Chains A and B, each alone.
Chain A
Amino acid sequence: MLRLNLFLLLAAMICALGVVTSQHKARKLFQELEGEQERARSLDVEWGQLQLELSTWATHPRIEKIARDKLHMHAPEPAKVINVPAGGR
């Protein structure tokens, strides 16, 4: 009888310690998850800002200005355009 009781006491203590460590681990992991979620949010914000920057740099008036003034490009006259039919038949 006594031996069984001692055994059960030991088992209960091991379980209790297990609960404590797993709780601790869970909280650690949860904090990590929180951190990563926070990072995901800030990356999303950054993505929005980069998209904004991209569209600002790539506005058509700006592209046209650079193409015309800096690179001296112009649209080809229709007579100089040769149409190649798809498939080449």
Chain B
Amino acid sequence: MKPASFVYHAPKTVDEAVTKLAELSPLDGRVLAGGQSLVPMMAFRMARPAHLIDINTVAGFDRLAVDGNTLSIAACVRHAAFHRPVVAGPTGALLTNVVANIAHYPIRLRGTFCGSLAHADPASEWCLTAVTLGAEIVALSARGRRVIAADDYFEGMMMTALAEDELLSEARLPLLPPDAHFGFYEFSRRAGDYALAMALTTFRLQDGVIIEPRVGVGGAEGRPCRMAQAEAILAGQKPGAEIFRAAAEAAADAIDPLEDVHADAEFRLDLVRAVTRRALERAAA
């Protein structure tokens, strides 16, 4: 399973990278970051880019820093960067909690956070994280820079709002308030497999009741989504088994489930219920 031929480019600066992309994307040019998703597709010849623009060599693309109230993650920051919390507080802990579920150790040493967002696999944990936390995606091109809200970024299964000539240069996660709770739960067949369903939730407690609930479900549809109905059920309520069950049920009702060889519609919805409830339980623990 050898990839089809391509011309290889290794720009050293961001300007070089976007210029190359502008020139080559109409000619079937693609960006190569971690390669952990793209290269298997190339091996199967499901992807046959005529040009690969390797951004691993671009200066500054490994930047990971807190800018004000935002965590800024540049294009080549690896999954493994999050193995230990990168920032104090719930956001750092959340990312470390989630990353343990992503694939396997060697893949995490190469694969990138932004690469996951660009690839937009429905079962990507970072895509769910971006949507649930309300991230911003920065798209760079020769034409300039634009910022896309996560809600507007994911359009469908492996389809995003990125234009052909745009490079996902940065993801910006708003930091959760210091007293935020979070819970993540995913279901996969084996350790490290793509999740068949996953849920991420954050909320705060004020006088014992839930405020600012966020519930995101991924892996169940073409793209991750926030569950507005589930959030509405949680808001103003004390955390508890019944309310979590109701929220999970609402999430299942809202989902139009993906069907594939691993899960039919009914099973997928069973999983949505289970992962949502368990993510909430973890957040409340």
Bound together:
no
